[in-house]
Every structure is written in C-alpha cells, then in structure tokens.
Structure 1
Amino acid sequence: MELPTLASGFWMLICFCVSVNGYPNGRVREACMSMIPCHGSSPQPSPVHNIAVNWTEFKPGDTIEVHLSGPDFEGFFIQARDAEHLDSPAVGSFILADRKHSQLLTCGRTKNSAVSHTSKAKKSDVKVYWIAPGNAPKHVQFLATVVKKYKTYWVKIPGPVVSQPNAPFPTTPLYVTSEAISTSHSASYLTKPFNASGCGITKFCVRNPSNCDPGSASCLFLSFQLQKSSVLIEMSGASEGYLAFALSYDQWMGDDDAYLCINEDHHVTVSTAYLKGRRPPVLDSENALEDVSWRLADGVLQCSFRRSIHLAVSKERFNLDTSYYIFLADGEAGEGGPIYKHRRQPLITNGMYNVTGIPQDIGGSRSPRLIKAHGALMFVAWITAVSIGVIVARFFKPVWSHSFLFGKEMWFQVHRMLMLTTVTLTSISFVLPFIYRGGWSKQAGFHPYLGCTVMALTIFQLLMAGFRPSLHAPRRQLFNWFHWSTGTTARMLAVVTMFLGMDLPALDLPDPWDTYTMIAFVAWHVGIDVLLEIHSYCLIRKAELIEDDRVQILQSLTSAEAEGHLFKQIVLTIYVCGNIVFLIAFLAAVYQI
C-alpha cells in the first residue's frame, strides 16, 4: 500500500520543483529601470569589468562602438542614459555585432534601447553599436550590469560619457559607482536568538504548532512588532532551505507581497518578492528593508528586519496597517540561491489580520477547510460506516435473524443504514474539492481519478441494491455475486485513494504516521474478518460432528449457536471500538494540520 504513495510523491516532486533562475535567456525587461537582476542578493561593490567606446563625441544619427570586457561572465545588460539623469529611461538604440551571444530589447517606448545576453554561456567581451537619437541629451553615459554567476553580479557599472559638440560641462558629477547605485542593505549577525516573549502582548505572532518555541527547528514562527512608523519582523524555522511569508487579500497564492530568508551555504539572504499567480516569486531588487540580521544555529534559521508601515514608492509592497491573510511557508533552496516550491502546503491564517493592530498570538492551517472536510467525511464513510456495515452483513445474519427493526431483520436495517450513510457522505465529500479548486485538479496525481472511480462504484452499488431480486428469484445468485464484487472493489480502491490523498499537499497528514496508521487499520479489519471466518468454520464443523453422533442434537446445536452468537457480539463490540479509535486518530490529525 505504501508504494503508490511513494511513487506519487516522487512524481509530484519532479513536477513541482520549480527554481527561480533569474533570466538565463536574457529577456530582462522587468529590470529595465533598475538594471538589477532579481536574484535576491546584494550587488558586488567593486566592478571588475570595463566599458570602452571608440568616440567620446557624437551628433544625432552617429554610431558609436561600445565594448564590454573583463573576466568571464554569464549575463549582461547594457543601456545608454542621460548622464545628468541616470534614473531616466534608456536613450538611443543599438545594433548587434554578434547575434549568437547578444540580443536587442525594448525598454520603455524606445525600440532596441538595450542589449542583453541570449544564454548563460560564458563570455569575456561583448561588442555592440549605439545609434544616437535625434533628441539625444547633451551628455550620454553607458551603463552595464554584469552577472558572473547567479549571486555574483555588478549593477550599473559606469562607462564612458559621450557628449555632443560644444555641450556645456554639467554641474553634477557624471561618473557614479556601483556602490552608490546599490539599493541593498548590509545584513548583520544576530548575537542571540529571539523568542516568543511578548506574543499577544507587544507582538503579533503566528506560530505552528501553536505556542511552539521559535528556538526549535520544528517551530515555524513569525512576529510583527510595531515601532513608531515601522514594524520589526522576526521569522524562524528549520535552517535548511528558506523561510517565507506573504500578505494576501485572499487565501489563494498570487498577487501577494512576500518576504524570504534564504540559506545559501550558511549565509542568509533576506529579500522581498512579489507573487504572480502560482508561479515562482519575482524577487525584488529594491528590498525596502532595514536593520536586516540573521542567525544559523542548532538547525534553526532566524532572520529579522524592519520595514516602514507605508511605502509610497512601491506598488508591490503592501501597507502594513491593513488586514491581510498571512501565508507562512518553508522549502528547499538550490546551490547558488534558486528556491524551489515549498515542500508542504503553506500555513494560512483562518482570517484576515492587521499586524499593526491589537497584538495576538494565533496559528493557522496548512489545509483549506473544504479539503479538511473532504478528508474527514471520507474517513467517516470508509473507515467506520462501510467497514462495520460489511461485517454486519457478512457474519450477523444468523445472530440477528429473529430481531427486527422497523419491520425488517435487524442485520439488514443496520447494513442498509450504514451503506446509505456511506453513499451520502461520499457524495458530499466528492464535490468539495471541485468547489475548492473551481474544477479539476491537475496537481493531485492519481487521487482524483481513483476518487471518481470509487464514487461511480458507490452509485452503481446503490442502484443495484435498489433493484435487488427477491430471495428465491433465479437472478438472486447473480445479484449476490455482483453486489459482493462491486462493494469489495470499491472498498479496496477507497483504501488506495486514501493512501494517496493523505500525502497530497492540500491535506498532507503527518508522515510516516499516516501511512503506518492506515496500514494498521487495514490489518485490523482483515484480522477481524479472518477471525470471524475461522469462527464460522469451526461452528459449522462442530455442528456436523454433533449431527453425526446424533446424541442430544437439538440441545447441542442450541448451545453451540448461543456460544457462537455471544462470541460474535463480543468481537463486533471490540471491532466497533477499534474502528472508532482509528477514526478519532485520523480526524484529530486532520483537525491539527
């Protein structure tokens, strides 16, 4: 039973592991203004690459050769800008000298106003030609961003300034350094770990599990503390990979304000990001964070930073004095910094909260309520109702043959009631994931396909029972065979479906506890079934021996039946209690996630 779960998990891992690799194909239009790669780290301070031109004077329409050279690099981004206003849009257009390693991009309204790489292939020099526009400013400066590797890059390396003839000398300095352009803040090391003191009093805290200690690797912790016009944010969790939280207007990933702490070879990078749909986060080059610090110790990653409540210049950073759903997630990070999809469903608060409002100490859920209800109803239906109903129908006909309920034999009424309960609960549970997803889930592996099969067999079993032939009808034997085979197939597929569903990200019960507990339940049910089969066989053999001896036949048969009935009733009581224990265990696990 465990193999399908492992296989499904393996394929899900392959399908879901999506890394953030920046712009390996050079299409960096999102960085047109800042010229900063969205790699989530700070630029290098001292440029090691050089920009050269063949002329320092130009007139509108002239062509100037621009040459970028230096140690091997993977990516580059070249623009020309007004030397007196370097924050202004790109000026002029470019012509390529080598189409294999470079390509033209359009930044703003000017076509071919920038040049970038076509691949991550290493290169040591790039040559392009710049064409001066008719409305060119008096002084133009060439700037280049160079990426040596994912986390090693230089931003806006200043190149030569070219000027129009007789242009007056500017009053502001033309050459700037990459240090002056850098918008990142240096990070310091936390000298001591932070804790949960003040949660609900001076801090707004989100914890999972509830009331856990942020000094533990098993505790996912996030806190917000109001400090005048800014908020001190602390985040803690397991040190492998990354920690992240996001502010959202709904409980769906997308269009959210996100913050990440990424462990890169025992060094932590703190970045802001923006989530667009269910795609990897777009790391923001302008962090807007202050007092960044971090700590790695005892398997725990802790990072803290401060952010202003309002950021008027950033549309992708939300104001912190508004109510949001809070997402809290962790995941793996690859070598060099790329992050992968979180291995578990993010923790999501059950309501919208204002983190600068009244301090609270809350938790959240890793599973949506509809998915929780789906799992809980399926457990009730297929662990309790079906299992008990099958045992009653198979072994308790002779025990309750003279007991009646609402005019029918008791065993039949109990069996029918439990089976109708199963059909009802399964039908309700079946539609909940479709309501939650708004359609078919393409990320749930074989689980939805098997679930649909179980639902179809359940409805077929109900319809077949509605047309059950009378006891002595010629087709009764055929009905009995179809009724048994359909029910048995549905039960087996339901167990497999539950095995697969328990480890899906939307539910994700504790592993390997869920697998072992489900195996224990299957063993429990099969064991009771085998025990009752052996007992029935022994009763039949005992009755045959008594009949052969023909001594006190009636008295002995009556005594044997009484003993058999008592044994079965004791076993049924134990079985029902055991099933309820398993059911409570699974429902408690669903409630706690």
Structure 2
Amino acid sequence: MSSKSSSLYRYGLLLFAALMLRQNEVAASPNGAPTSSCNSMTPGHGQTSSTACPFQTILDKTEMFSNDTLKVTLQRPGGTTAVFKGFLIMGFDKAKNNTVIGTFNISSTDQDSRTLDCGQYDNAATHKNDNQKSNITIDYWFPPEGFNGDVEFKATFIVDRDSEYWVKVPSRTSIKIIASEPIPTTPTTDPSNTQPPFPDIYAECGKTKGCIATPEDCVGTNNCSMMTTFKKLDNDHLELEIYGEITGDQQYVAVGFSTDSEMGSDSVTECVQYLSTVKAYQSYNSPDHNNKRLPSNIEGFEDTGSPLFVDGYIYCSVKHPIVFTSNNQNFDLNQPHYILMATGSAGKDNIERHSKEEKSGVSIDLADDLNISYFKDSRVLKQLHGSFMVIAWLMAASTGLLMPRYMKKTWVGKQFMKKDLWFVYHRGLMVLAWTLTVAGFIIIFVDVGGWVSESVSENPHPLIGCITTVLAFIQPFMALMRPGPNAPKRYIFNWAHMLVGYSAHILASNDYLTCIFLAVEMEEAELPYETYWILTAHICCYVGAHIILTIFARRSITVPDVLKADAPRDETGSLTRKIILICFICIVVGLGSTVIAFIAGA
C-alpha cells in the first residue's frame, strides 16, 4: 500500500474511532434525555443560551389535594413562533432542597412524550422524538400519597441538537399540595367508614384453589410480589383473585390468558387503582400487542369481593366465565392456557405498557388445576444472544481488527498451515465473531418468534442489529474474492474489506450502546446501569490501542533497522506491539466477561 493510501487509511480509521466515541451523544438525544442527565438536567450537546427562555411551563391549578392529579403544559407564549425539539421536566419539593418528587403518567398513544426514571419510577418526563414542538401537554402528574407542601416544576428546553438550550426553567407558578384525609385505621361506629380486612390470598393454595405467583417459593413465606389464584365455582364460572405490589395511585396488576405464551390475542382482567379507587376491568390484547379496555365487561363477569389497596398491595376478586367471547374472539378456559401477569401505570380508560411482566412456563388447566406454581420465563435464549454478541464484538472482532493493521510485520517467518501467523489469528478471530453473530441472530429470532414490529425511534436495536449481521455475514465472502498481494486493483479490495468490517464493528458497538442506554429502562435487557461504564471503558481502550499502535507504527517507519539479516525478521518495535496486544486482550476479555456476568444474572 502506498504512503498516500496508508495516510488515508489511518485518517479514515481515526475518523471511525471519533464516531465511536460520539455514540453516547448521538444515540441519546432523538429518543429523549438519558438518565445520566437527571441530576444536572443538562443535555450533552449544544450550548446554554444567554437570552431569556421563550418557552414556559403552565400548571392547570395552583392548589390541590394529594390524591388529585395535575395537568402540565410546556408551551411557547402566544404571538411567538419559537419551537423546541427536546425537553426534560421534573417536579421538586421546595421544602427539601428541591428533591424530585411525584409521578408522571403519559398515555401510550402520546407520540411526543415519555416518562423517565430519575432515581424513582416515572418521576420525570422527556421527549420521545426530535420533531419540532410548540405545545406539549402531559395529562397527569400526581404527588406522593399523603404529601403536604409546595412543588415547583423545572424544565429544560432544547431548540435543536447543535443549537442553544435553557436549563431548569421554573414553572410560572408553583402548586400547593394539601395532604388528603387518610383512610381510618381504627374501627368506627359507622360501618361504611371501616376499611375492609385484607383477605388471606395464600390460604387454601394447593388445596381448594390453584395459585401461580412470583418470586419462586413465595407462597410458603406469604411474600409474593404478584399472584393469581383460580377456583372453579360451577360448570360455567371461575373465581379469580388478582394480587400484586404497586407503587401508588394510577397503577395496575393484570392477568391475561393466552394460547401461545406470548402477548397478543389475549383476554385480560385488570385490577386497577385510579384516583384512590380500585376496580376490576376487562380488556383485550390485540395481535399487535396493544391493549384495549372493553366498553363493557363480558357477560358473566362480576366482582365477588371488595377491591382493595393496602400497604402497597392491590387486590381484586372476580367471578369469571369459563367460556366467553372477548373482542369477537372465543375463549374456552376448559382448555389449558398460559397465564400472563403484568404491572404498570394506568390511565383513566386504559392500562399502559407494563413495567414488569411474567408468564407461566407451561399451559395451565384453570378449571381443574389445584397446584401451586411459579412464573418461570426462561431467559436462556436471550442470555445466549447477549453473551454471543459480547464475545463476538467486544472480544473477538475488537482483537481481530487490530491484526491486519498493526501485526503484519510481527511473527515474521512464522506460519501455520502455510499462512502467516498474524493472518491465522485474524481469520480465526473473525470467523469466531462471524459464527457467534449469525448464531446470536438466529437465536433471538427463535426466542421472540420472528420480527417484532416496533417503532425504530423507540427501539433501534433490532434494525441496527440486522444491518450489523448483514455486514458481518458478507465479510468472509468478500475475503474469498481477495486478489493477490501484487494485483493492480488490490487497494480496492483493501478499502472495501476495511470499510465493511469497521462499519459492522461500529454498528455492533452502537447496537450494544443503544441496548444499554435504553436497556436501563427496557425490561427485555435487564442490565444494570453500570454496564454503560463498562462499554465506555471498552471504547476508550479500543480507540486508545489504535492510537498507541499507530504512533509506534509511524516511529518504526522512521527508524531504519541497523542490523540486516538474510533471514526474515520482525519489524522494529514488535515486542512492544505484542505487549500492547496482550494488555488489550486482557482488558477486553475482562470487560466482556463482566458484561456476560451481568447478562447471566439478569
């Protein structure tokens, strides 16, 4: 390769490295603020504006009880044409050093806003896309149960990615919240004011009724976080009990009946607490995974006990028909069904996407089963997929890509099966990466049952993963068409092979970073937040290795060998390159092993 081509090669490599370092920033903004912005509320791009903020936060009331809800609007003043693309808003307790409090509830149909966990569940709201916005209304914010005090809302407004922003702009008014009167905890002479006793849902499990719960073995210790019981009342009806832990008002626990263990075309019974009222509803999961509450409950469905919310747990008991029709689909619970359970936020007329879900490992005969069972959703395939991709891209590909660039003049004269040793290492590592990528790709499709339709703006992981796999898949076939070392068009192959390889590697890194930035909130990944720092360390290590090896490569060119020998010998600095390579391998294997440990424990 000529000196000019070598320089272009090097600059192209450094450009790719710079792009890799910017993945955090690029990936975060279009889909909303990352959790790393929670404390400062400052975006990782653009610059602070020195002018007055052209946007304002409006509250629909100035005083409310703690069991009421508040509507929050972000808007531009009348008569202006200002627009913003991004925002982050939180409610702050003015009496406690501006501690973030309260919970936002945003409908799943809202195209512009989503909730964000800033230390607590759904206590912040941010943008969902980078479309221009002049007015955003968040239907519900509610304070902690029994809260008494003043709350001020602060918002960050972002005009454009590379433009200006305003940080922690206070709402035009604060709101005074008055603690609502608590439910009496001691008996009174008026029976209507007496809190009904919480039923012992664990009694008779495995004797007169079937029970399925989570976590494992919780029934024996009376300490389940979610649970459904079922008992046949007569030939036409079951008694269902729904029980679970929720965080407060506007939350739900629901149970669904499915023929295939996956969400879609399911009958759902909801147990919902909304504005301090607990009630059971019927709904339906459509094939596209959207939940729709039925305008009226199915025939034969009725409450059989007092719905309750006590000490963080919700309970409903219903009489449920065995054979019924829901949303024009026929169900027969005499036949075995998989049981799905979920919990999450609830709106006035619907339940939102679940924050936690469980499903039975086998189908259950609800009419006759009196056993105690537990939700055991096997995550083996997801764990294999994640582990294979970590080994392929964080370990094998990262190391394999260093070989042709820096190690060609190392191990000179040493061959294996008539191939230079550096090439043997390179090919072996890249074949391993290719094999694991294809295997991981197939595994995840088997696990989720094919392509799952999902907004790319909400979850780009599947699309980027497919592109990465396609690029990786064609690499070995490109290598088979490699011309000879002295062929006049060899440089075309070199550039094409390098660009496809590095593009796949960058996309793979971005894919995993996307998984991490969204995975901290995304239930499918279940990775701890610390994984973000591990990936950041890996990128720094990878780019650092390229920079150091490039510097040594340039020095070796300018320092001629003093001693000449008839036999081939390593280029000057080979020992240093070997040491750097060994250190790099140790670091990436250690970091990758840590991520795999996180995946195995998920």
Please tell me the TM-score bracket, short chain as reference. Answer: 0.5 to 0.7
In structure 2, what is the equivalent of residue 389 of structure 1? 400
In 1, the alpha carbon distance for the partners of 2:272 and 2:522 equals: 24
Query: What amino acid is aligned across from residue 589 of structure 2 in structure 1?
Result: V
Structure 1 position 454 matched with structure 2 position 468 = yes
In 1, the alpha carbon distance for the partners of 2:301 and 2:597 equals: 48
In 2, the alpha carbon distance for the partners of 1:443 and 1:543 equals: 50
In 1, the alpha carbon distance for the partners of 2:552 and 2:467 equals: 38
| Equivalent pair of 1:454/1:494 in contact (CA under 8 Å) | yes
Matches within 5 A, 1:441-590: 441-445=453-457, 446-501=460-515, 503=518, 508-510=524-526, 513=528, 516-531=530-545, 533-534=547-548, 537=551, 541=555, 561-562=574-575, 565-566=578-579, 568-586=581-599, 588=600
In structure 2, what is the equivalent of residue 296 of structure 1? 309
In structure 1, what is the equivalent of residue 374 of structure 2? 362
Structure 1 position 264 matched with structure 2 position 274 = yes
In 1, the alpha carbon distance for the partners of 2:303 and 2:382 equals: 39
CA separation of 1:579 and 1:375: change in aligned 2, threshold 3 A: closer
CA separation of 1:433 and 1:348: change in aligned 2, threshold 3 A: same
SS in 1 for 2:401: helix
User: C-alpha offsets along residues 63-114 of structure 1, whole Å, 9 cap, x if unaligned?
Assistant: xxxxxxxxxxxxxxxxxxxxxxxxxxxxxxxxxxxxxxxxxxxxxxxxxxxx
How far apart are 1:246 and its partner, in Å?
0.8
CA separation of 1:216 and 1:256: change in aligned 2, threshold 3 A: same
**273, 282, 291: which one aligns with 2:294:** 282
| Equivalent pair of 1:327/1:349 in contact (CA under 8 Å) | yes
In structure 2, what is the equivalent of residue 7 of structure 1? 30
How far apart are 1:247 and its partner, in Å?
1.1
User: C-alpha offsets along residues 297-338 of structure 1, whole Å, 9 cap, x if unaligned?
Assistant: 44x23213153674689997956554211111223222xx21
How far apart are 1:482 and its partner, in Å?
2.7
User: C-alpha offsets along residues 231-253 of structure 1, whole Å, 9 cap, x if unaligned?
Assistant: 45232032342211111212344
CA separation of 1:416 and 1:345: change in aligned 2, threshold 3 A: farther
User: C-alpha offsets along residues 514-557 of structure 1, whole Å, 9 cap, x if unaligned?
Assistant: 5x514522432432441464266358758967968x9xxx9xx9
How far apart are 1:352 and its partner, in Å?
0.7
In 1, the alpha carbon distance for the partners of 2:220 and 2:351 equals: 23
Higher Rg: 1
CA separation of 1:402 and 1:302: change in aligned 2, threshold 3 A: farther
| Equivalent pair of 2:293/2:349 in contact (CA under 8 Å) | no
Query: What amino acid is aligned across from residue 224 of structure 1 in structure 2?
Result: T
| Equivalent pair of 2:270/2:282 in contact (CA under 8 Å) | yes
CA separation of 1:561 and 1:400: change in aligned 2, threshold 3 A: closer
In structure 2, what is the equivalent of residue 350 of structure 1? 361
In structure 2, what is the equivalent of residue 338 of structure 1? 349
| Equivalent pair of 1:294/1:304 in contact (CA under 8 Å) | yes
In 2, the alpha carbon distance for the partners of 1:380 and 1:198 equals: 48
In 1, the alpha carbon distance for the partners of 2:407 and 2:207 equals: 60
* Equivalent residues, number: 411
| Equivalent pair of 2:340/2:359 in contact (CA under 8 Å) | yes
How far apart are 1:378 and its partner, in Å?
3.5
| Equivalent pair of 1:366/1:506 in contact (CA under 8 Å) | no
CA separation of 1:400 and 1:192: change in aligned 2, threshold 3 A: farther
In structure 2, what is the equivalent of residue 421 of structure 1? 432
User: C-alpha offsets along residues 414-464 of structure 1, whole Å, 9 cap, x if unaligned?
Assistant: 321232233334334445666655557254444444334323322443332
| Equivalent pair of 1:402/1:409 in contact (CA under 8 Å) | yes
CA separation of 1:392 and 1:292: change in aligned 2, threshold 3 A: farther
CA separation of 1:339 and 1:402: change in aligned 2, threshold 3 A: farther
CA separation of 1:521 and 1:16: change in aligned 2, threshold 3 A: same
In 2, the alpha carbon distance for the partners of 1:263 and 1:531 equals: 55
| Equivalent pair of 2:303/2:318 in contact (CA under 8 Å) | yes
CA separation of 1:360 and 1:533: change in aligned 2, threshold 3 A: same
In 2, the alpha carbon distance for the partners of 1:272 and 1:444 equals: 31
For structure 1, the residue ranges without an aligned partner over 5 or more in a row are 20-185
Query: What amino acid is aligned across from residue 569 of structure 1 in structure 2?
Result: I
CA separation of 1:392 and 1:222: change in aligned 2, threshold 3 A: farther
Query: What amino acid is aligned across from residue 236 of structure 1 in structure 2?
Result: G
User: C-alpha offsets along residues 91-138 of structure 1, whole Å, 9 cap, x if unaligned?
Assistant: xxxxxxxxxxxxxxxxxxxxxxxxxxxxxxxxxxxxxxxxxxxxxxxx
How far apart are 1:269 and its partner, in Å?
0.9
CA separation of 1:432 and 1:224: change in aligned 2, threshold 3 A: same
For structure 2, the residue ranges without an aligned partner over 5 or more in a row are 1-22, 34-84, 86-104, 112-191
How far apart are 1:392 and its partner, in Å?
4.1
SS in 2 for 1:582: helix
TM-score by length of 2: 0.56
In 1, the alpha carbon distance for the partners of 2:478 and 2:546 equals: 27
In 1, the alpha carbon distance for the partners of 2:207 and 2:404 equals: 58
SS in 2 for 1:524: helix
Matches within 5 A, 1:49-88: none
In 2, the alpha carbon distance for the partners of 1:307 and 1:244 equals: 15
| Equivalent pair of 2:242/2:253 in contact (CA under 8 Å) | no
Structure 1 position 191 matched with structure 2 position 204 = no
Matches within 5 A, 1:135-154: none
How far apart are 1:196 and its partner, in Å?
5.9
| Equivalent pair of 2:209/2:230 in contact (CA under 8 Å) | yes
Query: What amino acid is aligned across from residue 511 of structure 2 in structure 1?
Result: T
In structure 2, what is the equivalent of residue 236 of structure 1? 244
In structure 2, what is the equivalent of residue 137 of structure 1? none
In 2, the alpha carbon distance for the partners of 1:202 and 1:384 equals: 54
How far apart are 1:227 and its partner, in Å?
7.2
| Equivalent pair of 1:461/1:487 in contact (CA under 8 Å) | yes
In structure 2, what is the equivalent of residue 224 of structure 1? 229
In 1, the alpha carbon distance for the partners of 2:515 and 2:259 equals: 28
How far apart are 1:361 and its partner, in Å?
3.0
SS in 1 for 2:486: coil
In 1, the alpha carbon distance for the partners of 2:333 and 2:409 equals: 69
User: C-alpha offsets along residues 129-183 of structure 1, whole Å, 9 cap, x if unaligned?
Assistant: xxxxxxxxxxxxxxxxxxxxxxxxxxxxxxxxxxxxxxxxxxxxxxxxxxxxxxx
In 1, the alpha carbon distance for the partners of 2:314 and 2:195 equals: 10
Instruction: Give the aligned CA root-mean-square deviation in angstroms.
Output: 4.7
SS in 1 for 2:228: strand
Query: What amino acid is aligned across from residue 364 of structure 2 in structure 1?
Result: Y
CA separation of 1:534 and 1:442: change in aligned 2, threshold 3 A: closer
| Equivalent pair of 1:200/1:360 in contact (CA under 8 Å) | yes
Query: What amino acid is aligned across from residue 524 of structure 2 in structure 1?
Result: D
In 2, the alpha carbon distance for the partners of 1:438 and 1:543 equals: 52
CA separation of 1:316 and 1:406: change in aligned 2, threshold 3 A: same
Query: What amino acid is aligned across from residue 341 of structure 1 in structure 2?
Result: E
CA separation of 1:560 and 1:199: change in aligned 2, threshold 3 A: farther
| Equivalent pair of 1:237/1:301 in contact (CA under 8 Å) | yes
| Equivalent pair of 1:386/1:419 in contact (CA under 8 Å) | yes
In 1, the alpha carbon distance for the partners of 2:472 and 2:543 equals: 22
In 2, the alpha carbon distance for the partners of 1:302 and 1:366 equals: 27
CA separation of 1:321 and 1:403: change in aligned 2, threshold 3 A: farther
CA separation of 1:583 and 1:6: change in aligned 2, threshold 3 A: farther
